[in-house]
Amino acid sequence: MPTGRVLHVLSQRPGLTGSGVTLHALVRQAARAGWEQRAVCGVPADDPRPRVGDLPPDAVAPLLFAPDSGPPSRAPDVEFPVPGMSDVMPYRSTRFSAMEPGQVEAYRVAWIDLLARVRDAFQPDVVHAHHAWIVSSLLRDVFPHTPVVMHGHGTALRQLRSCPGLAASVRAGCGRNDAIVVLHELHRQEYAREYGLDPTRCHVVGAGYDAAVFHARGRVDDAGPTLLFAGKLSRAKGLDCLLDAFDIVRGESPSAVLHVAGSGSGAEADELRRRVEETPGVAWHGKLEQPDLAARMRETKVFVLPSFFEGLGLVLVEALACGCRLVSNDLPGLAPVVEVAGDALARVPMPRLVGADTPDPADRPAYVERLARTLRTALDRAPSGRDSGEAVDGIDPRLAPFTWEAVFERVETVWLDVMRRRRAEVGAS
Q: What is the pLDDT of residue 385?
A: 56
Max mean pLDDT among 87-91, 213-217, 413-417 falls in 413-417
pLDDT, mean of residues 292-297: 97
Q: What is the pLDDT of residue 13?
A: 94
**pLDDT greater than 60 at residue 284:** yes
pLDDT, mean of residues 134-151: 98
**pLDDT greater than 80 at residue 391:** no
Q: What is the CB-side half-sphere exposure of residue 310 using CA atoms within 13 A?
A: 27
Using one digit for the tens of pLDDT, what is the confidence trace for 55-103? 999 999 999 999 988 777 788 999 999 999 988 788 889 999 999 999 9
Instruction: Work out the mean pLDDT of the chain and round it to a whole number.
Output: 92
Q: What is the pLDDT of residue 390?
A: 45
Here the contacts of 33-37 (C-beta below 8 Å, separation 24 or greater) are 33/3, 33/408, 33/412, 34/1, 34/2, 34/3, 35/2, 35/3, 35/4, 35/5, 35/6, 36/2, 36/4, 36/5, 36/6, 37/5, 37/6, 37/7, 37/8
Q: How confident is the model at residue 18 (pLDDT cuts 50, 70, 90)?
A: confident
Q: What is the CB-side half-sphere exposure of residue 269 using CA atoms within 13 A?
A: 18
Which has the higher per-residue pLDDT, 359 or 385? 359
CB 408 within 8 A of CB 29: yes
Q: What is the pLDDT of residue 2?
A: 62
The values of phi and psi at residue 70, to 5°, are -85, 175
Q: How confident is the model at residue 253 (pLDDT cuts 50, 70, 90)?
A: very high
Q: What is the pLDDT of residue 320?
A: 94
Using one digit for the tens of pLDDT, what is the confidence trace for 325-380? 999 999 987 888 888 898 999 999 999 998 778 899 999 999 999 999 999 999 99
**pLDDT greater than 70 at residue 204:** yes
- Cα angle, residue 154 at apex, residues 318 and 116 outer, rounded to 5°: 110
The values of phi and psi at residue 86, to 5°, are -110, 155
The pTM (predicted TM-score) of the whole model is: 0.85
- Indicate the DSSP class of residue 47: -
CA dist list (Å): 233 to 119, 284, 367: 37, 11, 19
Instruction: Please give the share of the chain, as a percent, with pLDDT higher than 90.
Output: 76
Q: What is the pLDDT of residue 393?
A: 46
